[in-house]
Structure 1
Amino acid sequence: ALRGTRHYPRPSLDAPPAASCSAHGCGFRIRGSRRCGRWPGCSALAMKITRQKHAKKYMSFYKYNFGFREPFQVLLDGTFCQAALRNKIQIRDQLPGYLAGATQLCTTRCVLKELESLGKELYGAKLIAQRFQVRNCSHFKDPVSGSACLLSMTEEGNPHHYFIATQDQDLATKVKKKAGVPLLFIIQNTMVLDKPSPKSLAFVQAMQANQLVPEHQKQSIEHLKEEQGLVKESENRRKRKRAGGPNPLSCLKKKKKVQETQQPSAAKKKRKRKRNRAKSEA
């Protein structure tokens, strides 16, 4: 046997018949134990690890190409809250671990108005949505549907780096037509980050080929530089002196000092002092 390989005990002939996994509800057939990962036939644990790897890969794509950063801002609509309620998902507790970073759960007034208008059927989803931050939208006077409101929040290249969490297929299709807008949805009892859309992949390829330079990305990069203080450091950074040649003045030949000969000064004429002698009388 190769080193590093894990060996699972073979089930005995007296083992109970195959049963489905009950730990995560994956539905795969296992023998003996009902816990995930005990037998090779149950792949719920492997599916969870694969799902986390995909999420990590997609998050790195959005971070490096579209400037996403923590805390990740997630816009939720009523359909996502209702699905989380049915599948007993704790969004606030589970989503940061799945995205591997701090998150800010938020919604809009239009989504809350829509849930109020739908009555008692979505009362639980309304209570969940009311716990999140309410972001200002441009429909303060004239509310629109929740899907239309969330789409308007991601216009002009999604400058605020919003995630869209929804179960609405029409809204998901429209979100995929925009570049740089991650999509979250729920499958059974699991939150899933959708892979980058073809629109996002084409956008990144065009950027790498220097065919497209987005303004919002320039602004976000400059904003990040200002926050990190990179702009000030580059301006105030002292220039490093490069090694140059010798001083040309030091290469000149030394000049001999010429001693100035003092010329003999002309003899100064002595000043004769005249004395007035008084003539004595004879």
Structure 2
Amino acid sequence: MRVKRQKKNRRTVRFFTVCFGFRQPYKVLCDGTFVHHLVTNEITPADTAISELLGGPVKLFTTRCVLAELEKLGKDFAESLEAAKMLSTATCEHEEAKAADECLSEVIGSKNSEHFFLGTQDADFRKKLQQEAIVPLVFGLRKTLLIDQPSDFQRQIANSSEKKRLNMTEREKKMLDKQTARILASNKEEGTDEYEQWERPRVVSTNGLDVKDRAQFKRKRAKGPNPLSCMKKKDKNNTSKPSRQEEKKEDTKKRTRKRSKKEKSGPERSE
């Protein structure tokens, strides 16, 4: 089960990195409830535990409004207040102190340009952010840390942004129109040679835009065979000298001597 949980968490982190440009080191914005959960369950050091969850180095942040809220809660949250003061503070633009959830929602915004992860234990606040903002949410369950899966709202924004990247903008369309008109005008002025006559690419109008459906390139012509890979032709009336193998065969034929039957039987004796 632990391996499956890690795969899900890494998959959600990959979704936000690919679709929305989250990069390492990951910035995690913590509220008072999340810091208190880390302290009471002794999840220390917090940065190493969160880095293991996200699969990369992290930087922990909080706001002045969160610190002010922890101070109001009294002695029961004294340890969590000290732990929150150890974190770096993210700047909130409002002058007067606000509620922690309002402050954090203003810092994140709808587009989350600073690419913050948010750590909170408030379930209602998490549901609200999933329907309004592009922010991955981290929460604790006893001594384990988890990430909420991307919501339908966040997936729709990812799909729409991907479609925008694939389609051309009006400026790009105008630039492409000018470039195609320039290429067509240059082709008319230059003309074609006798040896380079090839069919001009057709211009097809798609969505009011003239685009060439074929690439403009020179046609490859057939070439002769490689002379190094071809064997030499044999002449019919070949008067050249015989090869060495033929000469050796002739020499062996000349050197062989046939012995007569008398020589084999030996010299005849005289009576």
Determine the structure 2 residue equivalent to 1:17: none
TM-score (norm 1): 0.57
1:144 alignment partner AA: K
Greater mean deviation of Cα atoms: 156-165 or 175-184: 175-184
Determine the structure 2 residue equivalent to 1:126: 81
Residue correspondence of structure 1 range 40-189 to structure 2 within 5 A: 47-90=1-44, 91-139=46-94, 141-189=95-143
1:125 alignment partner AA: S
Residue correspondence of structure 1 range 120-269 to structure 2 within 5 A: 120-139=75-94, 141-210=95-164
Aligned-residue offset at 1:59: 0.8
Aligned-residue offset at 1:198: 1.3
Q: 1:69 to 1:121 in 2, by over 3 A?
A: same
**Over residues 215-238 of structure 1, what are the superposed CA-to-partner deviations in whole Å (9 max), with x where a residue is unaligned?**
xxxxxxxxxxxxxxxxxxxxxxxx
Question: Are the equivalent residues in 2 in contact too, given 1:96–1:103 (CA < 8 A)?
Answer: yes
Aligned-residue offset at 1:209: 3.4
The answer for unaligned runs of 5 or more in structure 2 is: 168-216, 220-271
Q: 1:146 to 1:212 in 2, by over 3 A?
A: farther
Identity among equivalent pairs (%): 33
**Aligned Cα RMSD in Å?**
2.3
- Classify the secondary structure of the residue corresponding to 2:164: coil
Question: Are the equivalent residues in 2 in contact too, given 1:163–1:181 (CA < 8 A)?
Answer: yes
**Over residues 155-195 of structure 1, what are the superposed CA-to-partner deviations in whole Å (9 max), with x where a residue is unaligned?**
14000001110001221122111342000000121010111
Output the CA distance in 1 between the equivalents of 2:11 and 2:159: 17
**Over residues 125-155 of structure 1, what are the superposed CA-to-partner deviations in whole Å (9 max), with x where a residue is unaligned?**
111111100111012x310011111111111
- Classify the secondary structure of the residue corresponding to 1:209: helix
Count of aligned positions: 170
Output the CA distance in 1 between the equivalents of 2:58 and 2:165: 33
Q: 1:204 to 1:121 in 2, by over 3 A?
A: same
Output the CA distance in 2 between the equivalents of 1:174 and 1:94: 26
Question: Are the equivalent residues in 2 in contact too, given 1:179–1:197 (CA < 8 A)?
Answer: no
Output the CA distance in 1 between the equivalents of 2:146 and 2:164: 32
Q: 1:142 to 1:211 in 2, by over 3 A?
A: same
1:110 alignment partner AA: C
Question: Are the equivalent residues in 1 in contact too, given 2:118–2:135 (CA < 8 A)?
Answer: yes
Output the CA distance in 2 between the equivalents of 1:84 and 1:117: 19
The answer for unaligned runs of 5 or more in structure 1 is: 1-46, 214-242, 246-282
Q: 1:179 to 1:155 in 2, by over 3 A?
A: closer
Determine the structure 2 residue equivalent to 1:276: none
- Classify the secondary structure of the residue corresponding to 2:29: strand
Output the CA distance in 1 between the equivalents of 2:85 and 2:39: 14
